[in-house]
Structure 1
Amino acid sequence: MMTSNDPLHGKTLEMILTYLVEHFGWEDLGRIININCFTNNPSIKSSLTFLRKTPWARKKVEELYLSTL
């Protein structure tokens, strides 16, 4: 059986975002990654919608997640 070396393997975007919000809170998350969905009336649902459509923002979220591990 192959195991993936990818630390994001098996992690959904929702799991990653939820972890980051619990770790930083919305306010700090919005300061670290300055995107509207984190700074203006943030929610997991609206942020997921934006991140799924916006590859550069999703990449920043994934990179931040990896840096906290």
Structure 2
Amino acid sequence: MKDPQANNPLHGVTLEKMLHHLVEQYGWEEMGRQINIRCFNFDPSIKSSLTFLRKTPWAREQVEKMYVQSLRDGN
């Protein structure tokens, strides 16, 4: 039986790993420009971002989209 998650780029990737990847690739300033949320624009940290994103589905979805796009762009 084929693994249904085989083509899912988010499979096995934690939100924390996504954030570390995005911060390394783009930095907080660019992330805050692309996704205008307070935890990226004012005193950003992984911890505060995780807290917010775990409670806010629309923001998490935007971060996931940004992560997948960064993988497609080869970052």
Which TM-score band (shorter chain)?
over 0.9
Q: CA deviation at 1:4?
A: 2.2
Which structure: larger Rg? 2
Query: Which residue identity does 1:24 align to in structure 2?
Result: Y
Query: 3-state DSSP class of the match of 1:68?
Result: helix
Query: 3-state DSSP class of the match of 1:61?
Result: helix
How many residues are paired up? 69
Specify every segment of 5 or more residues in structure 2 that has no aligned partner in the other structure, as ranges: none
Specify every segment of 5 or more residues in structure 1 that has no aligned partner in the other structure, as ranges: none
Query: Which residue identity does 2:67 align to in structure 1?
Result: Y
Distance between the aligned counterparts of 1:25 and 1:68, measured in 2?
A: 13
Q: CA deviation at 1:5?
A: 1.6
Q: 1:64 maps to which residue? A: 66
Q: What whole-Å deviation, never above 9, does each CA across 1:21-53 have from its counterpart, x for those lacking one?
A: 000001111001110000010000000000000
Query: Which residue identity does 2:36 align to in structure 1?
Result: N
Query: Which residue identity does 1:18 align to in structure 2?
Result: H
With normalisation by structure 2, the TM-score equals: 0.87
Tell me which stretches of 4 or more aligned residues in structure 1 moved more than 2 Å.
1-4
The percent identity for this pair of structures is: 62
With normalisation by structure 1, the TM-score equals: 0.94
Alignment of 1:7-46 (within 5 A): 7-46=9-48
